[in-house]
């Protein structure tokens, strides 16, 4: 992201972000589920919140290092009914092994590209648009229930304009053996599109599933993908949630996840970010049940003028909860990474532990990381730690490799790979092949 002109930084009043508000006004009546009073109420509140806040800027503490003001200067068109042809699916799963694949193009579900293998009984996989049209009652209990909160303009914008997304419901005790791959493709046939995918994942007690999100572009230009995922993992259930963000280099990728973990639930997530001109991955996890456990891990590789913001908030609200968080990244050229990691241990969360680590490898003098760890501990019998490191490649190691004949470029590559190794390993272990 090139630095903003000073003129834009000192503007006071939040800009109205008219174009999105206008879009809502114009499309209000043909958004899916527009006849549902509960949904319309949700959307109306959301658009009012968004209009009040405007696009996020560093004036908001949660957006201290990232501004979405540049979006105002770009005209994004809403996605209407159009079928863009896709020649080659950027799938991560090895071919010929069956499995489940849901494909969304510019946020719209594409049955023609998707592959829904045999699911065990008790698994329901739907597109949000479909459910809103045919079976909205099942959504009312969950949609928009976890992702509420003040000061989240992008989430509000998503709620106002959401049309489609993945709705996954796993019944009690069901184990889904194969990973469910969800591919989100951004395409810009002419003018840049903006879309707001909305995912809802509910795992009933004792169930288990693996969801792999893959975000990629067609290389046809910029777009704004502003997605929201609401995740509920009920007692003793486990969700493995992996994500590869390889969006087009002109794209804006904003993703907000709200995760709620009940007793002994496990949420294991890994995010690999390599794409997008500007990306933000915001994950909020509330561990409301005793013994809940979450792993938030990720890696990023940035170059050029890319900007990647990882913002996480982990709330230990019950006893014996544990969290592990490791984000590692390699930053080259004038790219910039942001890591904001907040861990809050509530008074009731005795015997909990939370550990967080951010490590960045800076490959150029102008590469930058802003790391802001925050620990707030209100219980006395807890174990918590956090750490943040940033540095360049080990010169002694580089010389050692080169002195053995290994060319400088290869030596650098080996060291970068070694730095990322233990996080990338997780993806490899799942049998994935990130392109």
Partner 1 sequence: MLEIKSLHATIDGKEILRGLDLSIAAGEVHAIMGPNGSGKSTLAYVMTGREGYQVTDGEILFKGRDILAMTPEERAGEGLFLAFQYPVEIPGVPNTTFLKEALNAVRQYRGEPPLDAMQSLRLVRQKMKELGVTEELLKRAVNVGFSGGEKKRNEVLQMAVLDPALAVLDETDSGLDIDALKTVADGVNALRGPERSALVITHYQRLLDYIVPDKVHVLAAGRIVRSGGKELAQELEQSGYAAFAGAA
Residues forming contacts to partner 1 in the complex (CB under 8 A) are 394-397, 399-408, 410-411, 414-415, 417-419, 421-422
Using an 8 Å Cβ cutoff, are 367 and 334 in contact? yes
Nearer to partner 1, 48 or 397 (CB): 397
Question: In whole angstroms, how close is the CB of 419 to partner 1 at the nearest point?
Answer: 6
Q: Residue 138 corresponds to which tokens in the numbers above?
A: 């099942």
> Which of 88, 93, 89 is closest to 103 using CA atoms?
89
Query: What is each CA distance from 74 to 19, 161, 194, 249, in whole angstroms?
Result: 10, 18, 10, 15
Dihedral Cα 81, 83, 88, 91, nearest 10 deg:
30
Question: In whole angstroms, how close is the CB of 398 to partner 1 at the nearest point?
Answer: 9
Question: In whole angstroms, how close is the CB of 397 to partner 1 at the nearest point?
Answer: 5
Question: In whole angstroms, how close is the CB of 424 to partner 1 at the nearest point?
Answer: 10
How far is it, in rounded angstroms, from Cα 230 to Cα 202?
A: 8
How far is it, in rounded angstroms, from Cα 49 to Cα 319?
A: 34
Nearer to partner 1, 30 or 417 (CB): 417
Question: In whole angstroms, how close is the CB of 337 to partner 1 at the nearest point?
Answer: 20
Question: In whole angstroms, how close is the CB of 57 to partner 1 at the nearest point?
Answer: 38
DSSP bridge partners of 345: 316, 377
How far is it, in rounded angstroms, from Cα 349 to Cα 331?
A: 36
Nearer to partner 1, 113 or 406 (CB): 406
CB count within 10 Å of CB 311 equals 21
How far is it, in rounded angstroms, from Cα 429 to Cα 270?
A: 12
Nearer to partner 1, 60 or 414 (CB): 414
Burial 265-295 (b: 16+ CB within 10 A, else e): bbbbbbbbbbbbbbbbbbbbbbbbbbbbbbb
> Which of 88, 302, 84 is closest to 186 using CA atoms?
84
Nearer to partner 1, 178 or 424 (CB): 424
Question: In whole angstroms, how close is the CB of 393 to partner 1 at the nearest point?
Answer: 11
Question: In whole angstroms, how close is the CB of 56 to partner 1 at the nearest point?
Answer: 36
Nearer to partner 1, 2 or 405 (CB): 405
Q: Residue 421 corresponds to which tokens in the numbers above?
A: 């190794």
Question: In whole angstroms, how close is the CB of 364 to partner 1 at the nearest point?
Answer: 17
Nearer to partner 1, 83 or 403 (CB): 403
Find the helix packing angle between 18-27 and 37-53, rounded to 10°: 160
Using an 8 Å Cβ cutoff, are 284 and 324 in contact? no
Nearer to partner 1, 5 or 405 (CB): 405
Nearer to partner 1, 36 or 415 (CB): 415
Please work out, in degrees rounded to the nearest 5, the angle formed at the alpha carbon of residue 232 by the alpha carbons of 150 and 279: 55
Nearer to partner 1, 62 or 414 (CB): 414
Question: In whole angstroms, how close is the CB of 417 to partner 1 at the nearest point?
Answer: 7
How far is it, in rounded angstroms, from Cα 16 to Cα 174?
A: 46
How far is it, in rounded angstroms, from Cα 58 to Cα 94?
A: 41
Q: Residue 15 corresponds to which tokens in the numbers above?
A: 């800009």
Question: In whole angstroms, how close is the CB of 416 to partner 1 at the nearest point?
Answer: 10
Using an 8 Å Cβ cutoff, are 321 and 350 in contact? no
Nearer to partner 1, 188 or 423 (CB): 423
Chain-centroid distance of CA 98 in Å reads 26
């Amino acid at each position: 992201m090139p630095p903003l002109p000073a003129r834009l930084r000192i503007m006071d009043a939040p800009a109205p972000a008219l174009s999105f508000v206008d879009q809502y006004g114009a499309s209000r009546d043909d958004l899916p589920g527009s006849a549902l009073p509960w949904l319309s109420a949700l959307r109306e509140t959301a658009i009012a919140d968004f209009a009040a806040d405007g696009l996020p800027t560093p004036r908001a503490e949660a957006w201290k290092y990232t501004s979405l003001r540049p979006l105002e200067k770009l005209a994004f068109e809403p996605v209407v009914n159009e079928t863009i042809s896709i020649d080659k699916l950027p799938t991560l799963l090895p071919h010929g092994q069956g499995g489940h694949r849901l494909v969304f193009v510019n946020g719209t579900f594409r049955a023609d590209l998707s592959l829904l293998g045999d699911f065990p009984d008790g698994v329901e996989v739907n597109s949000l648009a479909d459910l809103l049209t045919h079976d909205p009652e099942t959504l009312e209990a969950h949609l928009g229930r976890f992702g509420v909160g003040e000061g989240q303009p992008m989430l509000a914008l998503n709620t106002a304009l959401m049309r489609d997304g993945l709705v996954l419901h796993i019944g009690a005790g069901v184990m889904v053996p194969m990973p469910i791959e969800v591919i989100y493709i951004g395409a810009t046939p002419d003018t840049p599109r903006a879309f707001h995918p909305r995912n809802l994942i509910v795992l009933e007690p004792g169930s288990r599933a693996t969801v792999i999100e893959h975000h990629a572009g067609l290389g046809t230009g910029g777009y704004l993908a502003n997605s929201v995922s609401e995740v509920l993992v009920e007692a003793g259930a486990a969700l493995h949630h992996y994500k590869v963000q390889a969006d087009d280099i002109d794209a804006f990728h904003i993703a907000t996840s709200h995760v709620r973990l009940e007793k002994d639930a496990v949420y294991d997530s890994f995010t690999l970010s390599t794409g997008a001109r500007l990306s933000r991955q915001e994950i909020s996890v509330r561990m409301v049940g005793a013994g809940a456990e979450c792993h938030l891990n990720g890696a990023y590789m940035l170059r050029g003028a890319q900007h990647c913001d990882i913002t996480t908030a982990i709330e230990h609200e019950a006893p014996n909860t544990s969290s592990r968080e490791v984000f590692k990244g390699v930053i080259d050229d004038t790219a910039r990474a942001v890591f904001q990691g907040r861990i809050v241990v509530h008074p009731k969360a005795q015997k909990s532990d939370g550990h967080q680590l951010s490590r960045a490898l800076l490959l150029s003098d102008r590469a930058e990381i802003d790391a802001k760890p925050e620990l707030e501990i209100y219980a006395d019998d807890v174990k918590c730690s956090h750490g943040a490191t940033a540095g360049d490649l080990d010169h002694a190691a580089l010389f050692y490799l080169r002195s053995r004949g290994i060319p400088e470029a290869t030596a650098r590559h080996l060291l970068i790979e070694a730095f990322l190794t233990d996080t990338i390993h997780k993806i490899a272990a799942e049998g994935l092949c990130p392109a």
